[in-house]
Amino acid sequence: MATDVQPSSRKQPILFDDHTDSSVVELQYFIDTRVGKKTCMAKCEFCWLNREHLSGFHQDLHEAQDIIQNLRTQGYKVVPIVSDSFAERGKYLRSGIFNNNDGWYLGNAAWSSGRPLLEDNCEEMLDLCIENGIHTIIMTSHGTEDREREFKGLTQPSIVREAVKRIQAHSIRRDWEFRTILTFTLSMRNNSHEDISRYFDYCADLGVHAARFNRFADIRGTHPQLRMSPEAVANTYQTLRDIYEIHPSSVQLSVSEDFGFWGIEVMGFPKQVGHCVAGERLFGVVYPNVYVCPVNLTLVAGKIQDDGTITWDERVRAQLMHAKQHPEFGGCIGVAYPHSAEIRKIFQTELLQIRVRNNEAKENHDRPSF
């Protein structure tokens, strides 16, 4: 869920990811993690879902609905998610699973690469959004112009621009206000004052309502030169704030919590924001696994049993709390885990010790007695 904080000028409030309610335990429940032609029609190389252990997962929809209801009955806040809201030509939208689902970012929102909205059933897809009470459509924008990039599989900006035009036209035809948001991933390559100003200019020219920024996470460990240092994160926060204050457009600023807490003070957010609650009050589910983080989707914190209850692994929780005290943590486990060998070691050392103990136990069991 996103909340806002009022900047010092005439600007709209700055939107931020709000996990400050300590009474809520949120499960972001992934029903379909596939990327490619059946879902987002893209295969972005650095997508957090584009990984081997997630590549073919899609749960039976009726099974997922039953489990989600069971988890909600137990008091969990469960947010159903698929890799693209328009996946399978609207299958999930037709199911009603997103109907008035106000628990996710900015309330009831659709998430897309933009590609599905260039298909021949675009108007049907947008009508399904209306039927589900969806007013916000969020799309990833990889820059502002079509060109070759260092990552493979990215959706070119021209695709997103066309999708924005179609959404805007449909909004007028149906007298339904669609709020459009473009997301930009910032790294050491594009976090300058000039870059961020260009993104605001771009959104303003397109008539987009908000620009959302998240931090590059080098999940595969292949682009260390793009990782932000603590100083770079702090400078990026300052740049985002400065540009937003002076930019002449009405484009609203939205900042992802994955930037963490280095330098977050300049944003004026509540003090809890930027301090990761993943593995404590926020989890990702890819059935039956409950992961520590809905972006990392690597460390298993628990498993959903046949009766719908969750069996938690307290050992992993203890490791996580230890990791969050490490000076390289920075406020987001989804970024810190792939970026810090020291933090990974906290978890891997324990796993190695468990394997050794298991092997010793097996050897003792197999050793003949005399």
Which tens digit of pLDDT belongs to each residue from 155-170? Answer: 899 999 999 999 999 9
Average pLDDT, integer, range 328-337: 97
Q: Is the Cβ–Cβ distance between 81 and 91 less than 8 Å?
A: no
Q: What is the CATH number of the domain that holds 13?
A: 3.20.20.70
pLDDT band, very low/low/confident/very high, at 5 (cuts 50, 70, 90): low
Average pLDDT, integer, range 14-23: 93
Q: Say yes or no to pLDDT of 104 above 80.
A: no
Q: What is the pLDDT of residue 46?
A: 77
Instruction: Look at residue 34 and tell me if it is in a domain.
Output: yes
Q: Give alpha helix (H) positions in the chain.
A: 61-73, 87-95, 122-131, 157-174, 193-206, 230-246, 314-323, 333-339, 341-366
Q: What is the pLDDT of residue 149?
A: 75
Q: Say yes or no to pLDDT of 355 above 50.
A: no
Q: What is the pLDDT of residue 174?
A: 97
Q: What is the pLDDT of residue 176?
A: 97
Q: What is the pLDDT of residue 367?
A: 42
DSSP for 18-79 reads: ----TT--EEEEEEE---STTTTS---TT-TT-SGGGTT-B--HHHHHHHHHHHHHTT-EEE
Instruction: Look at residue 335 and tell me if it is in a domain.
Output: no
Instruction: Look at residue 75 and tell me if it is in a domain.
Output: yes
Peptide bond into 224 cis (omega under 30): no
Instruction: Tell me the one-letter amino acid at 309.
Output: T
Q: What is the pLDDT of residue 107?
A: 63
Average pLDDT, integer, range 311-331: 96
CA–CA dist 5, 3 (Å, integer): 7
Q: What is the pLDDT of residue 81?
A: 93
Instruction: Look at residue 115 and tell me if it is in a domain.
Output: yes
CA–CA dist 324, 336 (Å, integer): 9
Q: What percent of the chain has pLDDT over 90?
A: 79
Q: What is the pLDDT of residue 369?
A: 33
Instruction: Look at residue 364 and tell me if it is in a domain.
Output: no
Instruction: Look at residue 307 and tell me if it is in a domain.
Output: yes
Q: What is the pLDDT of residue 115?
A: 95
Total structural domains within the chain: 1
CA–CA dist 311, 333 (Å, integer): 22
Token representation of residue 160: 């997103």
Mean pLDDT of all residues belonging to the chain: 90
- Domain extent at residue 94: 2-313
Q: Which residue did the predictor score with more confidence, 108 or 332?
A: 332
Q: Number of helices (H) and strands (E), helices first, in the chain?
A: 9, 13
Instruction: Look at residue 320 and tell me if it is in a domain.
Output: no
Residue-wise pLDDT for 244-283, tens only, equals 999 999 999 999 999 999 999 999 999 999 999 999 999 9
- Supply the pTM of this predicted model: 0.89
Token representation of residue 327: 């000076």
CA–CA dist 66, 191 (Å, integer): 43
Instruction: Look at residue 98 and tell me if it is in a domain.
Output: yes
